Amino acid sequence: MTTDTSSLSIEQRFPEVFHQSSLKRFAPLLLLLGVIGYLVYAAWFFDLPKIMREGHWERTGLYLSQWISYDIQPDFTLTGSTIKPRFPKYSPLGDDPHPDWVIQNADGGYTILVDGRGRTVTFNKTQAVMTNNGEQVTVALSANVPAIATPLPAWVQIKSDQVIADMGYWGNVRITSDRVKVSKKFLGWANFVFDTDSPFFGKSPVEVVKLIVAGPELKPGVSNLALAGDNIWNNSEWQHGDVWTKLAQTIVMAFLGTICGAAIAFPLAFLAARNITHNGYLNQGLKRFFDFMRSVDMLIWALFFTRAFGPGPLSGSAAIFLTETGTLGKIYSEGLENIDDKQREGIQSTGASSVQVQRYGVMPQVVPVMISQTLYQWESNTRGATIIGAVGAGGIGLKLWEAMRTNSNWANVFYMVLLVLAVVFIFDSISNALRSRLIGRTR
């Protein structure tokens, strides 16, 4: 009973809460229905169910695992006089590898340990025996088409003239009547430091250090240290030199664009702020100019400057510069319009000149805000410069895009992603530290 009266009294005290107009009461529901309706429309518009159904989801795991692994694919031709392993031309193992997982047998055939001793394939010219965790399948190779007498287990498939055995995550075996192909996966980044052409290839870190410190000159006339540095920088698979140069270009693009944009936007903002320059046409004209620079997107500027200056960081910087003139001009002029007028009046009353009024009455109020906003833009442009690069403005973006397009070099992509992430995190913390010092000092 008491609860009833109390609720009644609350209802009497706050009638506007309990008796809202039906529009107001159902507004959230209508909004939600509208959003759901829009999402349904979008799903239809993009043909989402079809795209999701036809997506190659099995590739996801494959590509992601390629970020941190590599395959080695030896190939054995059975028709010649002797069976010899052949490794692909740019195999990460170098020219003449004898890996311990490829074992030559007494009969001239080979045993390959695809995944330890549990998953292997042993073959000679007449037959191949595949073992998968205790299960054995024998493939006869004498006919034109490889034949299997026993019923097929789930991990073996026959596709036209090829027997494909799935050995789990770590590899697979493909057998035709004249050839055995093995693919074995290894974790890590192959040859990240030295490529197979380098004289330091295949040596342990201790050996490399010994060679650099006290070894004989590997290449006449060049010190081992310089040789090692050159080999790393010009690593043909990882292209460290190129990647780091492109990364520097991206950083420079964001830096140049933001600083130059700030330098132009700063004086213009004073002219655009209506409380500082009392000229309505000039204020409005400049504000529309800022809007224009912002609305002609960074992409359009980038594409134009790529045509004007050719691909490279100059075009990217110019694109960021023009967009940033608009963005920073808008932010600066809004900041100026929000200042406290008392300080200006105080300086004015002492008979200071117009420049002195700005310097001592306005600047101390807005400069911390401006610098902090510029730092935000710098951060955001560092990220943006990556994307702008991909349309041809140079930098790491283009390199990333090229590496991804081939769909084969995901480890390189991951390497560059890590570098970009590191740069973004470092710059975020620099700008955060600067910002907190700045705002801490003024408050």
Partner 1 sequence: MLVPHPESEAAREVHAAWHKLSGQRRFYSFLGFALLLFALGGSMWFADTSNAGHFFDRLPHLFDFLSWLVPSDWNDVWRALFDIASPHDNGTQEFNFALGRVPVWGDFYFPEYFQLMLITINVALVSTLVGFVGALCLCFVAARNMTPHPWLRVIVKRFMELMRAFPEIVIAGLFAAILSIGPVAAMIAVGLHTIGALGKLFYEVIENIDMGPDEGLKAAGGNWIERVRFAALPQVMPNFVSYALLRLEINVRASTIIGAVGGGGIGEELKLSISRGFGAKTLALIILLFLTIFAVDQFSAYLRKKLVGDQSFMIKA
Binding status of residue 338 toward partner 1 by CB under 8 A: yes
Binding status of residue 295 toward partner 1 by CB under 8 A: yes
Q: How many residues bind partner 1 (CB under 8 A)?
A: 76
Q: Are strands 147-148 and 156-159 parallel, antiparallel or unpaired?
A: unpaired
Binding status of residue 424 toward partner 1 by CB under 8 A: yes
CA 218 – CA 79 distance, rounded (Å): 40
Least Å distance, CB 398 to partner 1, is 9
Of 158, 190, 193, 248, which lies in the binding site for partner 1, with binding defined by CB under 8 A?
248
For residues 318 to 337, the per-residue mask of contacts with partner 1, x marking binding by CB under 8 A and - elsewhere, is: ---------x---x--xx--
70: tokens are 């590599």
Binding status of residue 379 toward partner 1 by CB under 8 A: yes
Site for partner 1 in 52-91 (CB under 8 A): 52, 54-57, 59-60, 63
Q: Which is nearer to partner 1, 212 or 434 (CB)?
A: 434
Q: Which is nearer to partner 1, 180 or 413 (CB)?
A: 413
Binding status of residue 367 toward partner 1 by CB under 8 A: no
Binding status of residue 310 toward partner 1 by CB under 8 A: yes
Binding status of residue 394 toward partner 1 by CB under 8 A: yes
Of 30, 33, 226, 421, which lies in the binding site for partner 1, with binding defined by CB under 8 A?
421
Binding status of residue 297 toward partner 1 by CB under 8 A: yes
Of 384, 411, 412, 415, which lies in the binding site for partner 1, with binding defined by CB under 8 A?
384
Binding status of residue 387 toward partner 1 by CB under 8 A: yes
Binding status of residue 404 toward partner 1 by CB under 8 A: yes
Q: Which is nearer to partner 1, 8 or 421 (CB)?
A: 421
Of 107, 135, 207, 291, which lies in the binding site for partner 1, with binding defined by CB under 8 A?
291
Least Å distance, CB 348 to partner 1, is 18
Binding status of residue 239 toward partner 1 by CB under 8 A: no
Asked whether 269 and 262 are in contact (CB, 8 A), the reply is: no
Of 190, 232, 303, 371, which lies in the binding site for partner 1, with binding defined by CB under 8 A?
303
Q: Which is nearer to partner 1, 153 or 310 (CB)?
A: 310
Binding status of residue 207 toward partner 1 by CB under 8 A: no
Site for partner 1 in 3-62 (CB under 8 A): 35, 38-39, 42, 45-46, 48, 51-52, 54-57, 59-60
Asked whether 108 and 95 are in contact (CB, 8 A), the reply is: no
98-106, 133-141, 278-286, 393-401 -> range binding partner 1 (CB under 8 A): 393-401
Binding status of residue 298 toward partner 1 by CB under 8 A: yes
Binding status of residue 411 toward partner 1 by CB under 8 A: no
The closest of 394, 391, 409, 385 to 246, measured between CA atoms, is: 394
Angular region, 65: left φ>0, alpha ψ -120 to 50, beta rest: alpha
